[in-house]
Amino acid sequence: MKGTGLPVKGHRATLILSIAMLVLTVVLNQPLMGWVMLMMTCAAVIRFYLFRAGQTQKLSQRLVNLLAVLACIALAWFSGQQGLLEIMVNLLVTGCALKLLVLRRTKDFLQLTACAFFLTGCALIFEQALSTAIVLSIIVLLLLLGLQQLYAPQLAFKKHLSANVKLGLQALPIASLLFLIMPQLPPLWGMPAGKSTQTGLSESMTPGDIAALTQSTDRVFTATFSQALPPPQQRYWRAMVLESFNGNTWTVSEYRKQQQLLSQFTTRTLEAEPQGNWAEYQLIIEPNASKWLYALDVSRPADRASLTKVISNQDYSLSTVQPVMSKQLFDMQYNADAKKPLAANGIDTQLNLQLPVSGKNPRAKDWAQQLRHRYSDNNALVDAIMRYFADQNFSYTLTPGAMPEHPVDTFLFERQAGFCAHYASAMTYVLRETGIPARIVSGYQGGEAITQNALSVYQYDAHAWVEAAPDGKTWERFDPTAMVAMSRLQYGFQQSMADQHADMPLFSRARARDSALLGGLFAMIDTVNYQWSRWVLGFDNERQQDMLTDILGEKTTTKLALFGLAVMLFITGLLALYFIPKPAARYTDEIQRLYDSLSARLHKLTGVERANLSARQYLHLLAPHLDAQTFSLFEQFTQQYEKIRYVPSGQQRNHYARLRSQHRILMKQLKKGMGGFRPSPLTEE
Amino acid sequence: MIRSDFDALIGALGKHILGKPQQIKLALTCMLAQGHLLIEDLPGMGKTTLSHALARLFNLDYSRIQFTSDLLPSDMLGATIFNAQTQDFVFRPGPVFNQLILADEINRASPKTQSALLESMEEQQVSIDGTTYPLPTPFFVIGTQNPTFQSGTYPLPESQLDRFLMKISLGYPDWEAEKAMLSDAGIKDDTVSYSVEQLCDWQQRVKKVHASDAVINYILRLVTMSRTTPGFPHALSPRASKALLQAARAWAFIHNRDHVLPDDIQAVFVAVSEHRLRASYQDTDEDTSFSQRLLESVDPLAA
């Protein structure tokens, strides 16, 4: 049978591979199911044990086959709950774990290593943070070490490591150059969306059902402004607009969804030169598998590249054409002073006066009627509602308890405690009852400045507020939550929740605020990660073009071609630097110099190379190519060479002299008899 | 004259083992270099015939030990027995006390017995019950083993393989040789024969063959290459480089030279080093030969 068996005990290559696999599994924890991770851990532990104890009685093939069948059934069972991509990754890891158990031959080892390289690539689909990139590089290093250990087990580990690092350092400049210069092709196929990966805001909101809001500290996006940061009061990041209400739940209206689908297929154009005060900013969105974009009021794509990816909806929300599956960068611009007029066709009014016909929330309805009677002016009416929140004993809490029956009534007149969704929902409902178009906007509010001009927004910044049109013409923003928790808006979520710290996890970002050291550390990691996403992950086609323009000035075909050529030459130069053999050391040995110059000469004339043959073998090899006289001269020379080299008492002064004179004669003979050589049979054809 | 001696000698041996001059020369080289020989081959390839012929040629005391899984060290080394007449314990030497031992199918014996033999090979003496008995000189062991993939074998560990100076395999004879063997079976020429003293003399003279710096550097380059290049499961030890030089000297000697050439090293290199380079768990029928690769990558001439 082909392929060689591998030893079990003390086989370091296998141990390194197991470690790499284990670390890889930990990195891949997001898509992997618990039992798959457990299986890989078991496989690695068994390998550690075999490495130490060298138990020859390995797991029987039958048992592993049984495990494989069971694993397949389990995967099939869970495949409904997970996306296709996740299941495939799970399948691959399961296969690797089982193979690791029965690793017997060199072939198996190579297969496993190849799979591990592939999985390393897969891991980048799920996470692209700098830390992940570093860990993955270490895994690649480990895998290469394993391969080296497999093929050259007799060499010291340190030697492998240094060879590896050296190779890596050699590859680094070439890789970075290619990263900067190579044209970035669009992906050849789409990534299947995972079910479990969709995070962030949901498209429906049922304030009454939520008894307690859990706060996540995951980052949602980072915004980099070309000018100063917007003031805290303006940091309302609109995601989606909830216009449809059934008495309990607010959802995005079906009409808007259809419009959104339609506008995917219409051509979008950049508006003419913007009127007013538009400021540019850049969004780096963390992967969330949803299509909603987060933008300041009123935003629009700033350049052509973003325009192709972004849809501007009629309700002033923005969405992307493809779900955001990996970190993405959008160039936007916003105008804080821009008006948001209602659509001319009256659809806005129609949608935003809609109320459920059920007899729910009767007290709120009555209250709305009273308000309508008291205030004829719409603006005064809105003020009255806002004042109501301020004057009554309302409080802000994350744990309001459930309000299943008549949620608006319960909130307005009984509990009087809740979070943004409750306030926004109640106010919108009452406004609609009074005949003023109103809707809920959900998104994020606030953000944490991580550099001079960049804001990071986290999941706990999620917020909901009200948009109403008291004059029936333009939308205005009202934030009832602000009436009860001013600090929530001015200083951000962290500050206002200072008293609720007890609920926070121990090492959360929120807690870190208390400790200068931890806080500093978090801030530093944030900054590094931000720069990483901005400069490395965000380096897309457009930035590449910008960079080229910066370097070349105006782009002409000739310039681009010359530039490409120059880069190619540079890379070739770098490679040549590594691969061209160093010029041979100067001869310390006169005899060898004489012999080598002669054999080089003969090689050139006859085409027969010495190539690690001994002097005697070379002489015989050359015999058919030399004429009798030259051959006998070379034979004498070879004998003299051997005499000096190998025979005792051969190293005498007169022997050297003789060799030198023979060399001289032979060289002369070779020069003279240039035409007299028979070429080698190979070149004769 | 030495020259004619060796030609005649090799010719005489060639009448016993037809068509295998290279293997015969290597076996002779091994004997002159005072090393031990391991022959790995399938049954019936002439392993036993070769050792018989060598023993007869030099008039050596010869014994054959058939290794089986139940062979005990005492079966081979000998034992102390109570003599009822003299009321005394006497040592009865075992078959190992001979000048040429054929250890047949050495990898069928248990590791304990294997190591007992290999120890006596290395020390050239046997210790039983606290008394040390020297083995005769010359002492030459020809071990034969079946390929490890055959059933019922205990593969020799690397450390013990190292004790054999050379490992050769005979292989099937070619058409002509086998035909000649079948047609004149039984006709053997035993007229050429040498004394034990002659053999010892040659062995002493082999030691005096000159190895120049250039040759020693070549050996060093070969072994260093095996230690520093990826792709060799086992590097060559200093014992291996010593063995290499010794074998090359003997090879030069039977070619009637008083100095070693790189060609001599190349001639014996595969036989001396392949079994040291190859890991024991690797099948021997693999096509890449480690020693061949070393030979191809090292220049014999560089100073």
Q: Which residues of A574-594 are buried (b: 16+ CB within 10 A; e: fewer)?
A: eeeeeeeeeeeeeeeeebbeb
At residue A119, the pLDDT reads 94
User: Are the beta carbons of A207 and A422 closer than 8 angstroms?
Assistant: yes
- Residue A684: pLDDT band (50, 70, 90) is very low
Name chain A contacts of B259, Cβ cutoff 8 Å.
646-648
The Cα A574–Cα A593 span in angstroms is 31
Long-range contacts of B119-122 (CB under 8 A, 24+ apart): B120/B77, B120/B96, B121/B36, B121/B163, B122/B163
How distant is the Cα of B283 from the closest Cα of chain A, in angstroms?
7
At residue B79, the pLDDT reads 85
B292 and chain A in contact, CB less than 8 A: no
Q: Which residues of B38-49 are buried (b: 16+ CB within 10 A; e: fewer)?
A: bbbbeeebbbbb
pLDDT value at A85 more than 60: yes
A21-30, A43-52, A174-183: least confident range: A174-183
pLDDT tens column, B197-229:
988 999 999 999 999 888 999 999 999 998 888
B256 and chain A in contact, CB less than 8 A: no
pLDDT value at A113 more than 90: yes
The Cα B118–Cα B278 span in angstroms is 19
The architecture CATH gives domain B208-298: Orthogonal Bundle (1.10)
Name chain B contacts of A614, Cβ cutoff 8 Å.
261-263, 266, 300-301
At residue A136, the pLDDT reads 94
Q: Which of A645, A646, A651, A652 to mutate to test the interface with B (most CBs of B within 10 A)?
A: A646
A175-184, A217-226, A278-287, A513-522: least confident range: A513-522
Winning range, highest mean pLDDT, from A295-309, A344-358, B43-57, B263-277: B263-277
Give whole-number Cα distances, A451 to A229, A513, A523, in Å.
10, 17, 9
- CB-closest option in B231, B232, B260 to A646: B260
- Show which residues on chain A lie within 8 Å of chain B, measured between beta carbons: 4-7, 148, 151-155, 588-589, 591-592, 595, 610, 612-617, 642, 645-648, 650
At residue B220, the pLDDT reads 93
At residue A1, the pLDDT reads 36
CB contact (8 A) between residue B227 and residue A154: yes
pLDDT tens column, A472-498:
888 888 888 888 776 555 555 554 554
- CB-closest option in A614, A615, A650 to B266: A614
Name chain A contacts of B228, Cβ cutoff 8 Å.
155
How distant is the Cα of B267 from the closest Cα of chain A, in angstroms?
12
Q: Which of B259, B278, B280, B297 to mutate to test the interface with A (most CBs of A within 10 A)?
A: B259
- Residue A191: pLDDT band (50, 70, 90) is low
Q: Look over chain A and give the mean of its residue pLDDT values, rounded to a whole number.
A: 80
The Cα A652–Cα A655 span in angstroms is 5
Which percentage of chain A shows pLDDT scores above 70? Answer: 85
DSSP string, B199-253: HHHHHHHHHTSB--HHHHHHHHHHHHHHHHSTT-SSPPPHHHHHHHHHHHHHHHH
The pLDDT profile of chain B, 303 residues, written as one tens digit per residue, is 455 678 888 888 888 888 888 899 999 999 999 999 999 888 888 888 888 888 888 888 999 899 888 888 888 888 888 888 888 888 888 898 999 999 888 888 888 888 888 888 888 888 887 888 888 888 999 998 877 666 677 778 777 888 899 999 888 888 888 888 888 755 566 667 888 898 899 999 999 999 988 899 999 999 999 888 877 878 899 999 999 999 999 999 999 888 999 999 999 999 999 888 876 555 544 556 888 888 888 888 876
At residue A106, the pLDDT reads 86
For A637, the token pair is: 């020379």
At residue B286, the pLDDT reads 53
| Range(s) within chain B of domains with CATH label 3.40.50.300 | 18-181
pLDDT tens column, A196-217:
445 667 777 777 665 555 567 7
Cα nearest neighbour of A4 on chain B? B282
pLDDT value at A506 more than 50: no
A242-256, A305-319, A527-541, A606-620: least confident range: A527-541
CB contact (8 A) between residue A614 and residue B234: no
To the nearest 10 degrees (0 to 180), the angle between helices B196-207 and B21-32 is: 80
Name chain B contacts of A613, Cβ cutoff 8 Å.
300
pLDDT tens column, A122-148:
898 888 888 899 999 999 999 999 998
- CB-closest option in B229, B259, B296 to A646: B259
Winning range, highest mean pLDDT, from A56-60, A553-557, B160-164: B160-164
pLDDT value at A664 more than 80: yes
- CB-closest option in B261, B279, B286 to A646: B261
- Residue A285: pLDDT band (50, 70, 90) is confident
Residue A624 makes CB contacts below 8 A (sequence gap 6+) with A678, A681
pLDDT value at A681 more than 50: no
At residue A300, the pLDDT reads 83
Give A203's Cβ-side CA count (13 Å radius). Answer: 14
Residue A494 makes CB contacts below 8 A (sequence gap 6+) with A448, A510, A513
Please give the CATH topology (third level) of the domain spanning B18-181: Rossmann fold (3.40.50)
Cα nearest neighbour of B284 on chain A? A4
| DSSP three-state, residue A443 | strand
- Residue A509: pLDDT band (50, 70, 90) is low
Instruction: Check residues A103 and A589 and name the one with the higher pLDDT.
Output: A103
Return the number of other C-beta atoms located less than 10 Å from residue A506's C-beta: 5
Report pTM: 0.52
B233 and chain A in contact, CB less than 8 A: yes
CB contact (8 A) between residue A152 and residue B235: no
Strands A417-418 and A395-396: parallel
- CB-closest option in A152, A612, A646 to B232: A152
The Cα A116–Cα A136 span in angstroms is 11
pLDDT value at A310 more than 80: yes
Amino acid code (one letter) for B185 = A
Name chain B contacts of A645, Cβ cutoff 8 Å.
212, 214-215
The Cα B269–Cα B261 span in angstroms is 13
Cα nearest neighbour of A163 on chain B? B230
How many A-B residue pairs are in contact by the CB < 8 A criterion? 72
| Range(s) within chain B of domains with CATH label 1.10.8.80 | 208-298
pLDDT value at A638 more than 50: yes
- Residue A673: pLDDT band (50, 70, 90) is low
Name chain A contacts of B290, Cβ cutoff 8 Å.
none
At residue B189, the pLDDT reads 60
CB contact (8 A) between residue B212 and residue A650: yes
pLDDT tens column, A586-611:
555 778 888 888 888 888 888 888 88
CB contact (8 A) between residue B281 and residue A642: no
Cα nearest neighbour of B234 on chain A? A154
All domains of chain A in start order, with CATH? 12-152 (no CATH), 347-441+464-505 (3.10.620.30), 590-684 (no CATH)
The Cα A396–Cα A403 span in angstroms is 16
